[in-house]
Amino acid sequence: MELSGSKALVITVGLFLTFYALLIFGSSFYSYGQQPVSYDQYNNETYGIEIQYPSDWKVDTKNYNENSTRYTTLVAFFSPLNNYKDPFQDFVEIIHDKVPYKANLAGYLDEAINSYKDLKNFHLVSSTTGFSLGGLPAYKLTYTYRDDSVSPPLDEKVNVVGTLGGNDAFFIRYYAQKNSYANYLPIFNKMIESFKTTTGGLNTQEASGPSNPQEIQNTQENPLPTEQGNLKEFQGVSSPAGQGLMSYENQFFGIQKLTYPEGWSVYENETSIQLTSPSKGISPATVRITTYLSENRTLEDFAADDYNYYSSNPNLYAILESKHIKLLGDQPAHLEVVGFVDNQSRVFKDLTILSVKNRLLYVIDYVALDEQYQRYLPVVINLIKSLDLGTSSEVQNNQNISEPPAILSPL
pLDDT tens digit string along 161-215? 999 887 789 999 999 988 888 888 999 999 999 999 875 556 555 555 555 555 5
What's the gap between Cα 18 and its chain centre? 27
CATH (residue range 36-225) = 3.40.1000.10
Of residues 149 and 99, which shows the higher confidence score?
99
Provide the residue count of the chain.
411
What are the residue boundaries of the structural domains of the chain, listed by start? 5-25+234-396, 36-225
pTM of the entire structure?
A: 0.47
Q: What pLDDT, on a 0 to 100 scale, did the predictor assign at position 285?
A: 78
CATH hierarchy code of domain 5-25+234-396? 3.40.1000.10
Q: Cα dist. 28→83, 156, 183, 305, 406 in Å?
A: 16, 21, 9, 24, 18
Q: What is the DSSP string of 90-103?
A: -EEEEEEEE--S--
Q: What is the mean pLDDT of residues 212-228?
A: 47
β-bridge pairing 255-261 and 245-250: antiparallel
pLDDT tier for residue 31 given thresholds of 50, 70 and 90: very low
What does the DSSP 8-state code read for residue 253?
G
Does pLDDT of 329 surpass 60?
Answer: yes
CA angle at 83 for the pair 77 and 86, rounded to the nearest 5°:
70
Question: Any residues with CB less than 8 A from the CB of 12 and at least 6 apart, and which?
Answer: 341, 345, 347
Relative to beta strand 286-293, strand 272-276 is antiparallel
Q: How far apart are CA 324 and CA 336, in angstroms?
A: 9
Within 10 A of 183 (CB to CB), how many other CB atoms are there? 18
CA-closest candidate to residue 85, choices 40, 152, 131: 152
Question: Can you spell out the DSSP letters for 302-363?
Answer: HHHHHHHHHHT-TTT-EEEEEEEEEEGGGEEEEEEEEEEE-TTS-EEEEEEEEEEETTEEEE
pLDDT at 348: 87
Q: Check residues 201 and 374 and name the one with the higher pLDDT.
A: 374
62 near 169, Cβ under 8 Å?
A: no
> Rounded CA gap, 20 and 209, in Å?
57
> CATH topology of 5-25+234-396 equal to that of 36-225?
yes
Give 30's pLDDT tier (boundaries 50, 70, 90): very low
AA letter at 28: S
Separation CA 328–CA 101 (nearest Å): 59
Half-sphere exposure in the Cβ direction for 224 (13 Å, CA): 16
User: What stretch of H or E contains 29?
Assistant: helix 5-30
Report the alpha-carbon distance of residue 255 to residue 237 in Å, rounded: 11
How many other C-beta atoms can be found within 10 angstroms of the C-beta atom of residue 385? 12
More confident residue, 235 or 251: 251
Q: In the structure, what pLDDT confidence band is assigned to residue 77 with cuts at 50, 70 and 90?
A: very high
Please say whether the beta carbons of 176 and 151 come within 8 A: no
Mean local confidence (pLDDT), 32-58: 85
Dihedral of the alpha carbons of 342, 345, 347, 348, in degrees to the nearest 10: -20
Whether a cis peptide bond, with omega within 30° of 0, leads into 152 is yes
SS3 203: coil
Q: What angle do CA 49, 50, 54 make, to 5 degrees?
A: 145
Q: Both ends of the chain: CA-CA distance in Å? A: 20
One-letter identity of residue 278: P
Is residue 17's pLDDT more than 50? Answer: no
